[in-house]
Amino acid sequence: MCTVLPPKLLLLDEHTAALDPATSEKIMGITKEIVAKHHLTTMMITHNLNAALQTGNRTIMMDAGRLILDISGAERDNMSLNDLLALYSSKSNKAFDNDRMLLT
Protein backbone atom coordinates (compact mmCIF):
# COMPACT_ATOMS: atom_id res chain seq x y z
CA MET A 1 0.00 0.00 0.00
CA CYS A 2 2.87 2.38 0.67
CA THR A 3 3.71 2.50 -3.04
CA VAL A 4 0.36 4.03 -4.08
CA LEU A 5 1.41 7.37 -2.61
CA PRO A 6 4.99 7.00 -1.33
CA PRO A 7 5.38 8.22 2.26
CA LYS A 8 8.16 10.50 3.47
CA LEU A 9 9.14 7.84 6.01
CA LEU A 10 8.52 4.11 5.59
CA LEU A 11 8.29 2.27 8.91
CA LEU A 12 8.84 -1.50 8.78
CA ASP A 13 8.20 -3.23 12.09
CA GLU A 14 9.53 -6.78 11.76
CA HIS A 15 7.87 -7.10 8.36
CA THR A 16 9.55 -10.48 7.70
CA ALA A 17 9.40 -11.94 11.24
CA ALA A 18 6.73 -14.61 10.70
CA LEU A 19 7.93 -15.74 7.27
CA ASP A 20 9.93 -18.76 6.20
CA PRO A 21 13.51 -17.96 5.06
CA ALA A 22 12.77 -18.09 1.31
CA THR A 23 9.74 -15.82 1.56
CA SER A 24 11.59 -13.49 3.93
CA GLU A 25 14.41 -13.14 1.40
CA LYS A 26 11.90 -12.43 -1.37
CA ILE A 27 10.13 -9.76 0.72
CA MET A 28 13.47 -8.13 1.62
CA GLY A 29 14.34 -7.99 -2.09
CA ILE A 30 11.01 -6.35 -2.92
CA THR A 31 11.46 -3.95 -0.01
CA LYS A 32 14.91 -2.90 -1.23
CA GLU A 33 13.54 -2.33 -4.75
CA ILE A 34 10.66 -0.15 -3.51
CA VAL A 35 12.93 1.87 -1.22
CA ALA A 36 15.46 2.47 -4.01
CA LYS A 37 12.82 3.24 -6.65
CA HIS A 38 11.04 5.84 -4.52
CA HIS A 39 14.13 7.10 -2.64
CA LEU A 40 12.39 6.43 0.67
CA THR A 41 13.84 7.08 4.08
CA THR A 42 13.12 3.82 5.87
CA MET A 43 13.29 2.59 9.46
CA MET A 44 13.31 -1.20 9.76
CA ILE A 45 12.82 -2.79 13.15
CA THR A 46 14.20 -6.34 13.20
CA HIS A 47 15.69 -8.97 15.45
CA ASN A 48 17.54 -10.44 12.48
CA LEU A 49 21.04 -9.06 12.96
CA ASN A 50 22.23 -10.29 9.56
CA ALA A 51 19.41 -8.40 7.85
CA ALA A 52 20.21 -5.34 9.94
CA LEU A 53 23.82 -5.32 8.73
CA GLN A 54 22.99 -6.16 5.11
CA THR A 55 20.27 -3.53 4.76
CA GLY A 56 20.51 0.23 4.87
CA ASN A 57 23.33 2.44 6.05
CA ARG A 58 22.82 2.81 9.79
CA THR A 59 22.29 0.32 12.60
CA ILE A 60 20.86 1.27 15.98
CA MET A 61 20.61 -1.25 18.81
CA MET A 62 18.63 -0.93 22.00
CA ASP A 63 18.74 -2.91 25.23
CA ALA A 64 16.05 -2.72 27.92
CA GLY A 65 14.60 0.40 26.30
CA ARG A 66 17.84 2.34 26.03
CA LEU A 67 19.98 3.11 23.01
CA ILE A 68 23.36 1.41 23.28
CA LEU A 69 24.70 1.46 19.70
CA ASP A 70 24.39 3.82 16.76
CA ILE A 71 26.71 2.72 13.95
CA SER A 72 27.04 4.15 10.45
CA GLY A 73 29.64 4.98 7.85
CA ALA A 74 32.90 3.10 7.45
CA GLU A 75 32.63 1.51 10.90
CA ARG A 76 29.34 -0.15 9.93
CA ASP A 77 30.38 -0.95 6.35
CA ASN A 78 33.27 -3.10 7.57
CA MET A 79 31.40 -4.75 10.45
CA SER A 80 30.69 -8.48 10.61
CA LEU A 81 27.99 -10.12 12.69
CA ASN A 82 30.64 -11.20 15.21
CA ASP A 83 31.93 -7.62 15.41
CA LEU A 84 28.40 -6.37 16.09
CA LEU A 85 27.82 -8.97 18.81
CA ALA A 86 31.14 -8.10 20.48
CA LEU A 87 30.37 -4.39 20.39
CA TYR A 88 26.90 -5.03 21.83
CA SER A 89 28.42 -7.07 24.67
CA SER A 90 30.99 -4.40 25.48
CA LYS A 91 28.42 -1.58 25.47
CA SER A 92 25.73 -3.46 27.43
CA ASN A 93 28.13 -5.20 29.83
CA LYS A 94 26.44 -8.53 29.19
CA ALA A 95 26.60 -11.38 26.72
CA PHE A 96 24.25 -11.46 23.79
CA ASP A 97 22.13 -14.49 24.66
CA ASN A 98 18.88 -14.40 22.74
CA ASP A 99 18.78 -17.64 20.72
CA ARG A 100 15.94 -16.32 18.55
CA MET A 101 18.15 -13.54 17.25
CA LEU A 102 21.23 -15.68 16.81
CA LEU A 103 19.40 -18.37 14.86
CA THR A 104 17.59 -16.16 12.36
Q: Cα–chain-centroid distance for residue 42?
A: 10
Condensed to tens digits (0 to 9), the pLDDT of residues 21-75 reads 899 999 999 999 988 988 889 999 988 888 888 888 999 998 888 999 999 999 9
State residue 58's pLDDT score: 93
pLDDT at 89 over 60: yes
d(CA 65, CA 51): 21
State residue 51's pLDDT score: 86
State residue 27's pLDDT score: 93
- What does the CA dihedral 85, 19, 55, 32 come to, rounded to 10 degrees? 180
Q: Do 32 and 55 contact (CB within 8 A), yes or no?
A: yes
Full-model pTM:
0.75
State residue 104's pLDDT score: 47
Residue 6 CB partners (closer than 8 Å, separation 6+): 38, 40
